[in-house]
């Protein structure tokens, strides 16, 4: 019998957790059973996600930056690529914040349910209040000062200091680029290997995702049984999907404006890669198909696509960044927190930087969300609220990631005068041409 795909396993775990909890609430001992014997496994799953955050950002970001050494040869193309990717990520996070602030899905949760959530996660709430009070007492440049750590090991010991870890990773990666390649090779090989190990660890963690979701949902039902929480989750999912659709519209508009290629042309060319991204939830796994579609159906020169797209699969996670912004504000709303403008600006910067180190594999977005929550002072335990619907949303946001990579490759190609029409207009004609070439060679 064919094994079920992971996303189906997670959906089954989610449904099973809800049904199991609803069944247990009919017994006097049911709530205690879930709290004492089921919920700990959900906490362990969240702890595993938090455990992997620091090594993931270090390994992925250092590897990504060290791989950018080709910018020295393609400085103009490299600069345009990086700047465009960063700008689209900022737009994505801004769209996410705009959508979640306008529709406020977390505000549909009643005050009684909010009090229940705060009570269940009282430790996180207290830490959040302390962090907010400390923030009020800081000077105007304290955030800039806090960006630079005085001890990388101290910074890496807390997920709330992730911007300091990101700063160190960027600084370290730049240092690797500037030293002779022969001297940098052993260090690069180490971080390449470390990155592969971390990605494999994520794979192992995600194997336990169905059981983690089962435990988290079961605990969520018995601890906050109000139906308004689940209604809010539906609103949250709708906000994420709506924001991602707006991002795809944004891509079509900028492609149309700057390259004069119609939205229909763009979508027709990239749609097979989008479907593969949706089914695999991995922009890395989709990369070969993305390159084929961009080169042969969107007219991007191979010199551009081979440079822009691999970098995009590493540092361009627009869909993930948008989701992180919506999720962070939703969790804050669910806990009755009001995020001020400065904190939301911090979410933009943190989500943008975190996306650079986000691995192009399923589940990495949830790990990176830990970074955003910790930096904004939002209770990380709120991950339990959204993980149930994360997998289907992961499929949609990966589609947006791949679409963003393709659109940026067209923009860069246009700026380099390396954008033409489709290179393969008819596969039958292409086959005949290749056959003719083979005969001539013989």
Q: What is the DSSP string of 15-47?
A: HHHHHHHHHHTTSTTHHHHIIIIIHHHHHHHHH
Number of domains the chain contains = 1
We report the CATH number of the domain holding residue 424 as 1.10.3860
Q: State yes or no: pLDDT of 438 exceeds 60.
A: no
Pick from 286, 281, 317, 278: nearest CA to 88: 317
Tokens of 147: 């960006």
The Cα 132–Cα 378 span in angstroms is 10
The Cα 281–Cα 41 span in angstroms is 25
95 in Cβ contact with 250 (< 8 Å): yes
Q: Please indicate, yes or no, if residue 227 is contained in any of the structural domains.
A: yes
Q: State yes or no: pLDDT of 225 exceeds 50.
A: no
Q: Please indicate, yes or no, if residue 57 is contained in any of the structural domains.
A: yes
What is the SS3 assignment for 190-220?
Answer: HHHHHHHHHHHHHHHHHHCHHHHHHHHHHHH
Q: Please indicate, yes or no, if residue 49 is contained in any of the structural domains.
A: yes
pLDDT at res. 370: 73
Pick from 265, 215, 270: nearest CA to 35: 215
Q: Please indicate, yes or no, if residue 271 is contained in any of the structural domains.
A: yes
Q: Please indicate, yes or no, if residue 173 is contained in any of the structural domains.
A: yes
Q: Please indicate, yes or no, if residue 1 is contained in any of the structural domains.
A: no
Highest mean pLDDT among 14-18, 401-405, 436-440: 401-405
Q: Please indicate, yes or no, if residue 101 is contained in any of the structural domains.
A: yes
Q: Which helix (H) or strand (E) holds 178?
A: helix 162-178
pLDDT tens-digit profile of 337-374? 888 777 888 887 777 776 665 555 555 566 667 777 77
Which residues, at least 6 apart from 145, have a Cβ–Cβ distance to it below 8 Å? Answer: none
334 in Cβ contact with 105 (< 8 Å): no
- Whole-model pTM? 0.66
The Cα 312–Cα 294 span in angstroms is 13
pLDDT tens-digit profile of 139-180? 556 656 777 888 988 888 876 666 688 788 878 988 888 888
Beta bridge partners of 246: none
- What's the mean per-residue pLDDT of the chain? 78
The Cα 146–Cα 6 span in angstroms is 39
Q: State yes or no: pLDDT of 261 exceeds 70.
A: yes
pLDDT tens-digit profile of 19-65? 999 899 889 899 899 989 998 998 888 788 778 767 877 887 787 67
Q: Please indicate, yes or no, if residue 263 is contained in any of the structural domains.
A: yes
Q: Give the N- to C-terminal CA distance of the chain in Å, as an integer.
A: 48
pLDDT at res. 275: 83
Q: Average the pLDDT over 240-267 and give the result.
A: 94
Pick from 246, 243, 294: nearest CA to 420: 294
> What DSSP designation does 300 have?
B
Print the domain residue range for 283: 6-441
pLDDT at res. 251: 96
Share of the chain above pLDDT 70, in %: 75
């Amino acid at each position: 019998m064919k094994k079920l795909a992971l996303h189906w396993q997670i959906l089954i775990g989610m449904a099973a957790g809800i049904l199991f909890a609803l069944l247990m609430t009919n017994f006097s001992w049911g709530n205690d059973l879930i709290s004492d014997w089921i919920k700990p496994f959900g906490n362990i799953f969240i702890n595993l996600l938090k455990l992997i955050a620091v090594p993931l950002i270090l390994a992925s970001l250092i590897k990504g930056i060290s791989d950018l050494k080709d910018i020295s040869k393609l400085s103009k193309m490299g600069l345009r690529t990086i700047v465009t990717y960063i700008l689209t990520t900022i737009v994505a996070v801004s769209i996410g914040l705009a959508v979640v602030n306008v529709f406020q899905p977390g505000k549909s949760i009643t005050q009684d349910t909010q009090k229940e959530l705060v009570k269940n996660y009282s430790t996180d709430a207290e830490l959040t209040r302390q962090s907010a009070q400390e923030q009020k007492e800081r000077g105007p440049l304290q955030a800039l000062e806090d960006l630079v750590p005085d001890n990388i090991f101290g910074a890496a010991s807390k997920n709330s200091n992730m911007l300091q870890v990101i700063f160190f990773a960027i600084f370290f990666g730049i240092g690797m680029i500037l030293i002779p390649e022969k001297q940098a090779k052993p260090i690069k090989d180490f971080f390449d290997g470390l990155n592969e190990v971390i990605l494999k660890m994520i794979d192992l963690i995600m194997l336990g995702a169905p059981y983690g979701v089962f435990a988290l949902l079961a605990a969520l039902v018995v601890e906050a049984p109000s139906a308004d929480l689940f209604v809010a989750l539906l609103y949250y999912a709708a906000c994420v999907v709506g924001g991602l659709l707006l991002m795809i519209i944004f891509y079509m508009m900028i492609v149309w404006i700057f390259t004069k290629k119609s939205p229909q042309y763009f979508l027709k060319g990239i749609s097979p890669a989008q479907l593969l991204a949706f089914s695999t939830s991995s922009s890395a796994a989709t990369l070969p198909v993305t390159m084929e579609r961009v080169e042969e159906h969107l007219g991007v020169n191979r010199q551009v696509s081979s440079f822009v797209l691999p970098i995009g699969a590493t540092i361009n996670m627009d869909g993930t960044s948008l989701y992180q912004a919506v999720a962070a504000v939703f969790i804050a709303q669910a806990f009755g927190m009001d995020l001020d403008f400065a904190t939301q600006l911090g979410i933009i910067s943190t989500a943008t930087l975190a996306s650079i180190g986000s691995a192009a594999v399923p589940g990495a977005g949830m790990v990176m969300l830990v970074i955003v929550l910790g930096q904004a002072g939002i209770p990380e335990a709120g991950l339990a609220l959204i993980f149930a619907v994360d997998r289907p949303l992961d499929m949609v946001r990966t589609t947006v990631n791949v679409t963003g990579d393709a659109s940026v490759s067209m923009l860069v190609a246009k700026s380099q005068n390396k954008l033409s029409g489709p290179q393969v207009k008819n596969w039958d004609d292409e086959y005949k041409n290749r056959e003719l070439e083979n005969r001539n060679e013989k």
